[in-house]
């Protein structure tokens, strides 16, 4: 059976599935039950400085969007960092780590952006037995207004400065958690690396308003008639997170910087995708909040079976495997030609593909007598829209044309790899000179 053991920055855990810093990791009761369920590690709910505890709203703190089957697709929250006393958290962390020495225990931190505050909190956590710290530069609401969270994470110079303090005052591995609420994720990652970070984790939540009540005209979640932007997470954010992970993994400046992948991980397959794009492990929040801690058992068995099928002996064989296949648009093969093909046996004759292609794509689907839908190869540009709107999985597939065949749409013979950089229509290409 495949070995799922994960070694992230020298922190070993029985599997690469960690719970992200959030309500699931808020207290001893939760974390013990999470470890019993099988989670490989946790990042404890973010701790702040000693002082009066943080105050959360007492009305709804979550908003959501759902698919047609009411499955939760995106979750939005206006929760702050832990609202429990610092010492209570520290005592609990110490006890839990002692009882589960084989699990990863990371402490998430967010304190004011001054050297003394960071020195002090790092001193306070020293004897908890924790395996590492994660710097929460991500929370988009509540804390940013106080000069913390994403207020720091949006300024690379601050990220570097705080990371340097952390490396100066602590020997623990330091993971910098990045906010996606910026234009180019590589800049904060580079700053973290310059500051001496051992790894980055991403993404934290995305600024969002999930909905507006059109009777009361208040954004949801509504607190006494008012709403505010919250942090968006769950399956809907996965594509954004995957891209950001890949950007860091393939950038010459940050290549090789260990990554903990976060954002919408719900199944073992999601985890494999994050790891293939360069993450060494994954962190999960919304899936645990939606389905409970035991969801990790499906992740473990699914990953194990996948690795056995692929003949992967360790998770290291997955990490970064897809990174060489992520490229810029101008390097894509413009001589790769496909055509949509409809499986008549699978087709339920709903006509969605026809409507989509006829109205908004290339009028490449014919509706024949008896609602028989067929693709006109001489019109099909292979956009993939019909595949994406068809309600029957694998009913429409894209079929590659072999080299040497003639594309009936363009009349051109399918040739070897060639990209935009050398295309005759490119004014900058050598061929155009």
Ligand X SMILES: Cc1cc2nc3c(=O)[nH]c(=O)nc-3n(C[C@H](O)[C@H](O)[C@H](O)COP(=O)(O)O)c2cc1C
363 DSSP 8-state letter: S
Q: Which one of ligand SF4, ligand X, none is in contact with 265 (Cβ closer than 5 to 8 A by kind)?
A: ligand X
Chain positions contacting ligand X, by CB under 6 A: 20-23, 45-46, 75, 77, 79, 81, 108, 136, 138-139, 177, 204-205, 231, 233-234, 237, 262-265, 284-287
Partner whose binding site includes residue 21, from ligand X, ligand SF4, none (CB under 5 to 8 Å by kind): ligand X
Residue 342 interacting entry, from ligand X, ligand SF4, none, C-beta within 5 to 8 Å by type: ligand SF4
Q: Does residue 337 bind ligand SF4 (CB under 6 A)?
A: no
Q: Would you say 197 or 347 has its CB closer to ligand SF4?
A: 347
Length of the chain: 433
Give the integer Cα–Cα distance in Å for 17 and 374.
44
Cβ atoms of 299 and 291 within 8 Å: the answer is: no
Query: In sequence order, what are the residues at sequence separation of 6 or more whose Cβ sits closer than 8 angstroms to the Cβ of residue 390?
Result: 352, 353, 396
Residue pair 160/191 in contact by the 8 Å Cβ criterion: yes
Q: Are 280 and 6 in contact (CB under 8 A)?
A: yes
* 333 vs 363 by CB, closer to ligand SF4: 363
Residue 357: contacted member of ligand X, ligand SF4, none (CB under 5 to 8 Å, by partner type) = ligand SF4
Binding mask 350-369 for ligand SF4 (x = CB under 6 A): xxxx--xx---xx-xx----
- 200 strand-pairing partners: 176, 259
Q: What does the per-residue mask of binding to ligand SF4 show for 379-418, with x meaning CB under 6 A?
A: -xxxxxxx---x-x--xx----------------------
Distance CA 178, CA 211 (A): 25
Site string for ligand SF4, 283-322 (x = CB under 6 A): ----------------------------------------
Rounded-to-10 torsion of CA 172, 178, 184, 189: 0
- Annotated catalytic residue 390: no
| Rounded least distance, CB 202 to ligand X, Å | 8
Whether the CB-CB separation of 168 and 193 falls below 8 Å is answered with no
Give the DSSP letter string of 205-227. PEEE--EEETTTTEEESPBTTB-
Size of the site for ligand SF4 (CB under 6 A): 28
CB under 8 Å to 347, separation ≥6 — which residues?
A: 373, 392, 395
C-alpha 404/C-alpha 44 separation (Å) is 58
Nearer Cβ to ligand X, position 4 or 265?
A: 265
From ligand SF4, ligand X, none, interface partner of 81 (C-beta below 5 to 8 A by class): ligand X
182 binds, among ligand X, ligand SF4, none (CB under 5 to 8 A by kind): none
Interacting residues with ligand SF4 between 165 and 224 (CB under 6 A): none
Of the pair 94, 362, the CB lying nearest ligand SF4 is at 362
- Torsion sign (Cα): 366, 367, 370, 372: positive
Residue 275 contacts residue 249 (beta carbons within 8 Å) = no
Which residues are part of the catalytic machinery?
Answer: 139
The residues of the shown chain that bind ligand SF4, judged by CB under 6 A, are: 340, 342, 347-353, 356-357, 361-362, 364-365, 373, 375, 380-386, 390, 392, 395-396
């Amino acid at each position: 059976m495949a070995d799922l053991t994960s070694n992230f920055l020298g922190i070993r855990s029985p599997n690469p599935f960690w719970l992200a810093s959030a309500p699931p990791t808020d207290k001893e009761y939760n974390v013990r039950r999470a470890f019993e369920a099988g989670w490989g590690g946790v990042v404890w709910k973010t701790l702040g400085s000693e002082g009066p505890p943080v105050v959360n709203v007492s009305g709804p703190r979550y908003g959501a969007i759902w698919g047609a089957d009411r499955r939760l697709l995106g979750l939005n929250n206006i929760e702050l960092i832990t609202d429990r006393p610092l010492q209570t958290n520290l005592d609990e962390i110490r006890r839990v780590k002692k009882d589960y020495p084989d699990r990863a225990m990371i402490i998430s931190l967010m304190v004011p952006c001054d050297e003394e505050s960071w020195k002090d909190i790092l001193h306070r956590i020293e004897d908890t037995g924790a395996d590492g710290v994660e710097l929460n530069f991500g929370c988009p609401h509540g804390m940013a207004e106080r000069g913390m969270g994403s207020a720091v994470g949006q300024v690379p110079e601050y990220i570097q400065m705080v990371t340097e303090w952390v490396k100066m005052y602590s020997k623990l591995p330091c993971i910098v958690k990045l906010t996606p609420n910026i234009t180019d994720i590589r800049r904060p990652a580079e700053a973290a690396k310059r500051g001496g970070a051992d790894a980055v984790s991403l993404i934290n939540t995305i600024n969002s308003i999930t909905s507006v009540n059109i009777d009361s005209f208040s954004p949801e979640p509504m607190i006494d008639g008012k709403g505010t932007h919250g942090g968006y997470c769950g399956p809907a954010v996965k594509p954004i997170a995957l891209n950001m992970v890949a950007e860091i993994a393939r950038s010459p400046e940050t290549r090789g910087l260990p990554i903990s992948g976060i954002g919408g991980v719900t199944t073992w397959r999601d985890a494999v995708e994050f790891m293939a794009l360069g993450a060494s492990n994954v962190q999960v929040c919304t899936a645990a909040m939606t389905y409970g801690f035991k969801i990790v058992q499906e992740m473990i068995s699914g990953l194990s079976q996948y690795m056995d099928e692929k003949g992967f002996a360790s998770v290291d064989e997955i990490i970064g495997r897809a990174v060489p296949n992520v490229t810029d648009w101008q390097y894509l093969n413009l001589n790769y030609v496909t055509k949509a093909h409809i499986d008549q046996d699978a087709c339920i004759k709903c006509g969605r593909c026809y409507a989509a292609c006829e109205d908004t794509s290339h009028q490449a689907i014919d509706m024949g007598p008896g609602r028989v839908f067929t693709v006109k190869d001489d019109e099909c540009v292979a956009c993939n829209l019909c595949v994406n709107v068809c309600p029957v999985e694998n009913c429409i597939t894209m079929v590659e044309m072999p080299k040497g065949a003639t594309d009936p749409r363009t009349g051109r013979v399918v040739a070897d790899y060639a990209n935009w950089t050398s295309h005759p229509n490119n004014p900058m290409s050598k061929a155009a000179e």
